């Protein structure tokens, strides 16, 4: 499941995040890499424990909590604290698969990475390259979105960031553990939820069939959810 989430963060929010992170001290992006990723990853990143990263990360988390589309698509159980990276001068991240489990440094907090998310924090016309390229069952998908927009995709998918040949690509990235481990089941619930909402808007939330389908949704969620 690959879902674009438009306008996750508005222009003022993007500006506030950039004001926090642009002046911070960036380090080699391999501080959070696994052995495989370290061979392919060439970028800069804010340290996880940097005050700017924590403040900006909380702003991203707040935006996620306000997004019905994100909640419906991800059904999040746990979210790894958002991180921030930067690509410029030909930097790229070659083909890789995200680690199955992410552990927050210095804590016991861990997340099974069911889904990965990128929140773009730079307008696409000010840099060349930098597309997030994801291999799906329907072919290769190339994603380069406006600032404040985000994309959600399975952490198990092969993906890469193309070289940035002009300007600078800045983004937030993180992983989350869904209440629904299976991607196909999560897609079914997402499609059903969208249909229920569409019918509710047309027929009214009190219509018998809307209530019936809402019950089906919650019974499936009850059957499949992990807590």
Q: Which residues are annotated as part of the binding site for 2-oxoglutarate?
A: 169
Binding-site residue numbers are 96, 98, 159, 169
Query: Which residues fall within 8 angstroms of residue 101, CB to CB, at 6 or more apart?
Result: 110, 111, 112, 113
The token pair that represents 211 in the structure block: 């209530």
- Secondary element (H or E) of residue 16: helix 11-21
Binding residues for Fe cation are 96, 98, 159
On whether the CB atoms of residues 209 and 199 are closer than 8 A, the answer is yes
Residues in the chain: 227
d(CA 46, CA 215): 44
Q: Where are the alpha helices (DSSP H) in the chain?
A: 11-21, 35-38, 51-65, 68-74, 183-203, 208-224
Residues contacting 184, CB < 8 A, separation 6+: none
Pairing mode, if any, of strands 159-161 and 92-96?
antiparallel
CB-based burial, 196-226: b 16+ in 10 Å, e otherwise: beebbeeeeeeeeebeebbeebeeebeebbe
């Amino acid at each position: 499941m690959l879902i674009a989430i438009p306008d996750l963060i508005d222009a003022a929010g993007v500006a506030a995040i950039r004001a926090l992170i642009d002046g911070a001290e960036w380090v080699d992006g391999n501080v959070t890499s696994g052995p495989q990723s370290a061979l392919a990853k060439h970028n800069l990143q804010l340290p996880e424990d940097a005050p700017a990263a924590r403040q900006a990360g909380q702003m991203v988390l707040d935006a996620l909590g306000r997004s019905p589309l994100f909640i419906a698509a991800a059904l999040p159980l746990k979210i790894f604290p958002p991180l921030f990276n930067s690509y410029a001068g030909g930097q790229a991240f070659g083909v890789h698969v995200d680690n199955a489990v992410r552990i927050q440094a210095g804590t016991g907090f861990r997340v099974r990475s069911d889904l990965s998310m990128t929140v773009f924090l730079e307008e696409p016309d000010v840099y060349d390259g930098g597309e997030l390229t994801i291999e799906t069952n329907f072919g290769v998908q190339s994603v380069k979105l406006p600032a404040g927009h985000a994309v959600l995709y399975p952490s198990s998918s092969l993906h890469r960031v193309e070289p940035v040949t002009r300007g600078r690509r800045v983004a937030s990235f993180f992983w989350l553990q869904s209440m629904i481990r299976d991607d196909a089941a999560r897609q079914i619930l997402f499609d059903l939820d969208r249909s229920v909402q569409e019918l509710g808007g047309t027929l009214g939330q009190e219509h018998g069939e809307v209530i019936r389908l809402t019950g089906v949704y919650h019974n499936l969620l009850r059957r499949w959810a992990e807590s």
